[in-house]
Structure 1
Amino acid sequence: MNRSLLIIFATVGLDAVGIGLVFPILPRLIQEVTHASNVASWIGIMAALYAMMQFVFAPMLGALSDRLGRRPVLLISMGGAAINYLIMAFAPQLWMLLIGRAIAGLTSANISVATAYITDISAEDTRARRFGLFNATFGAGFIIGPVLGGIFGDYWLRLPFIAAAILNGSNLLLAFLMLPESRKPSRQPIDFAALNPLRPFRWIFSMKGLMPIIVVFFIFSGVGEVYGTCWALWGHDAFCWNGLWIGLSLGTYGVCQALAQAFLPGPAVKLLGERATILVGVAGTSLALIVMSLTTHPWMVFAIMPVFVLGGIGVPSLQSLATRMVDNDRQGQFQGVLASAISLASIIAPLAFSSFYFVVQKQWPGAIWLSAIAVYAITVPLVLNLHIPQAKMAAAT
């Protein structure tokens, strides 16, 4: 593996670590600066702010990297990430934390630029393997992040942010000294109309018959936000977990999901078909969430994790099914719409789930998981009634 790829993978991994390390400690940090006992709403606002900055700025950073080159945009985003973590490490007031999370969301939009960089330097026959490593690196960072955040946060609440700032600053220095440019800057003017993040939604209503699967993607992505938004709050309220146990539980969940998505979807689809595999994933996740909503024993959370594995087979199967819904000449357009729907769900869902948790926190914190099941249930009739063109079915077989 060449030096450039190692630096890019380090950037992606550190982005994921930075996202994950915040989860176990953010509730306590907000309590420290606001002196409020119920901070669920602020958790949702911060998660939505982070996602909104990604949603708005990812197209802009991608366009700037085409115009100016990948290297300067990546360096700026690395520097922004380091600055964000320093702000959050020492911020005495809530508005400073909000600014920090906004900067974090903006700079984490560099994933699209890192993807373009890998495409620039990779031959077609190596791209699949390299993108596999790319996704694995992000997944590993997202598993490591919550564990480190919990351990460091128990020692000192601000320590995880200082560690993240040091790591991102080191990566910035390494990239500045050793990362070459992957493409020549373009002299073509930037198409500002293409920077509108809502632009792909114009195509939704022109894609007849595709609205149900877009809604399913939206719901799946929205439900996935409940874990990052409410897991730490629930762990503390239900079991009085400290940062270490919150981080370990999130890390265990991440490992189960990664293993499931890596090894189970292919055999499951061959055995059951895509529709049934998606529904089995929904059923497995729902069963695990029911147990979590009712249990008063923390060991049950870890015991139910293998059932969560079943939930990990749903999204890859849905992605496979989606590719058969349109012709090859519309795949790019369709995937753009799906990406926008997922981003929009990442903005709306944290606000909705955190508001619900604010209501049920004192009476029954586990009710948050039942609300996720209720949202999931909407997908069942949609999946059952998805219409797949016969020509696509024949081509797939």
Structure 2
Amino acid sequence: MRARLPLLFILTTLMIDAMGIGLVIPVMPQLIRDIEGGTLAQAALWGGIFSTAYAVMQFLCGPLLGTLSDRFGRRPVLLITLTIMALDYVVIAVAMNVWVLLFGRIIGGIAASTRSVATAFIADISSPEEKAARFGLVGAAFGLGFVLGPLMGGLLAELGTRAPFWAAAALATANMLLGVMVLPETVTDRIRRPFSWKRANPLGALLDLGRKERVGRLTFMFFLYQTAFFVYPAIWAYYAQERFDWGPRTIGLSLGLFGISLAIVQGWLIRYVLAWLGDRKTVLYGILFNAAAFLALAMVSSGTLALILTPLAALGAVVIPALQAMMSRAIPDNAQGGLQGLLTSAGALAMIVSPAVMSQVFWVATAESTAVYLPGAPFLVSMLLMVVCAVVFLGRKRMTPPVTDPPRARP
């Protein structure tokens, strides 16, 4: 049990990161109106600004925190950012100005970039054969956080629009205290890497790690895959209401089923898929399965069938853990934080791009003046992106053996 506590702490940290995204969804519209007044449409405009700011800070700061952890260690970076996250929730809970809310979401986006550090910790403690299954636990923790975040926000909102943020602050504080007690340091002098501003930004990290062509290709594929997969949070509520006339309760149920199924697939089922197919075939299976699922959702006309397909669609969610394991094995031990920071940035960029693209496609395909009425058109876009992912994956070069940079004396 003592050996498992650090992993439990890491997975809880990742879950809290994901909850930070979903927690605000049920309460933010009313909180903005309580503070700023105005209409629901004006609150939605501010909500869009908050979401974009949160994702942009994750894009910018993922490599920074990952590179800092390569230099100073995973433990101090994780504990400091968790402390900042707890304080940030307190700031939002007492905010009396919309600009303070914006500041809170900016700081929250920075603190939630700890996914890169937490994933690097898992890479540090895992053998090459364990990495894909352990990265699956990362996805499971995130999937669970996406389910619990809106659920927690909606239930605690009954006590007031600020209650969810006080609860989240308490949860982050408790997890930080657990980390103080159980989290070891995994960055030793053998793999410690000097800090470099060149590697601490998304473009610099891509150029640095892109020298290994396979990693560059797979990073691009990672971005395309995430852009396609984010069609669910980006468009599902609008698609389900337009196509099947579902209300909020059914939409919430379907998303909850999807999140739970995602956690089961990435936390448990992926171990058996990897043992059967191996990393490469697992990635190809996931791409093909996702392409078929997106096509089915684009064309389905029965709400009952769509509800059945929703959790089944999660069976394709084995790509990211297998892909992360392949990339982690291609990178030296002293660059794991930088790699996970780059992937955090790629995922954050996908969170920015996907809603913008998918919402525009949905609008064009459902407008009164449209030539072809097709609410499922965004899923066709995601299917095409899966085809591109397959082309990129199959066209990569063979992996070159990683070489750990020699350690340097600390200043």
- C-alpha distance in 1, partners of 2:87/2:155? 22
- C-alpha distance in 2, partners of 1:359/1:90? 41
The corresponding residue for 1:395 is: none
RMSD: 4.6
Q: TM-score, normalised by structure 2?
A: 0.70
Question: Which stretch of structure 1 is more off in the superposition, 52-61 or 85-94?
Answer: 85-94
Task: Please point out which of 242, 258, 262 is paired with 1:257.
Answer: 262
- C-alpha distance in 2, partners of 1:141/1:342? 16
1:184-203 matches, within 5 Å, as: 190-202=195-207
Question: Which stretch of structure 1 is more off in the superposition, 29-38 or 78-87?
Answer: 29-38
Deviations 1:302-351 (A, max 9, x none): 3332442354356567x39x959xx9579989967766544422232234
Q: Which amino acid aligns with 1:16?
A: A
The corresponding residue for 1:285 is: 294
The corresponding residue for 1:17 is: 19
1:314-325 matches, within 5 Å, as: 319=323, 323=326
Partner SS state of residue 110, structure 1: helix
Partner SS state of residue 144, structure 1: helix
Task: Please point out which of 110, 116, 140 is paired with 1:112.
Answer: 116
- C-alpha distance in 2, partners of 1:184/1:204? 19
The corresponding residue for 2:10 is: 8
Q: Which runs of 5+ in 1 are unaligned?
A: 393-397
Q: Which amino acid aligns with 2:290?
A: G
Contact 2:206–2:216, Cα closer than 8 Å, also in 1: no
Q: Which amino acid aligns with 2:223?
A: F
Q: Confirm or deny that 1:36 pairs with 2:39.
A: yes
Contact 2:136–2:321, Cα closer than 8 Å, also in 1: no
Q: Which amino acid aligns with 2:378?
A: S
Task: Please point out which of 312, 329, 351 is paired with 1:346.
Answer: 351
- C-alpha distance in 2, partners of 1:214/1:64? 21
The corresponding residue for 1:373 is: 380
Contact 1:49–1:347, Cα closer than 8 Å, also in 2: no
- C-alpha distance in 2, partners of 1:183/1:314? 27
Deviations 1:230-274 (A, max 9, x none): 4456678854426xx55443221112233344537559969x986
Q: 1:156 to 1:311 in 2, by over 3 A?
A: farther
The corresponding residue for 2:66 is: 62
Contact 2:231–2:355, Cα closer than 8 Å, also in 1: yes
Deviation at 1:215, TM superposition (A): 5.1
Q: Confirm or deny that 1:308 pairs with 2:317.
A: no
- C-alpha distance in 1, partners of 2:321/2:71? 34
Q: Which amino acid aligns with 1:56?
A: L
Number of residues of Structure 1 aligned to a counterpart in Structure 2: 379
Q: Confirm or deny that 1:161 pairs with 2:165.
A: yes
Contact 1:287–1:307, Cα closer than 8 Å, also in 2: no
Question: Which stretch of structure 1 is more off in the superposition, 306-315 or 251-260?
Answer: 306-315
Q: TM-score, normalised by structure 1?
A: 0.73
Q: 1:312 to 1:330 in 2, by over 3 A?
A: same
Partner SS state of residue 84, structure 2: helix
Q: 1:303 to 1:27 in 2, by over 3 A?
A: farther
Task: Please point out which of 53, 56, 72 is paired with 1:49.
Answer: 53
Q: Which amino acid aligns with 1:37?
A: L
Q: Which amino acid aligns with 2:21?
A: I
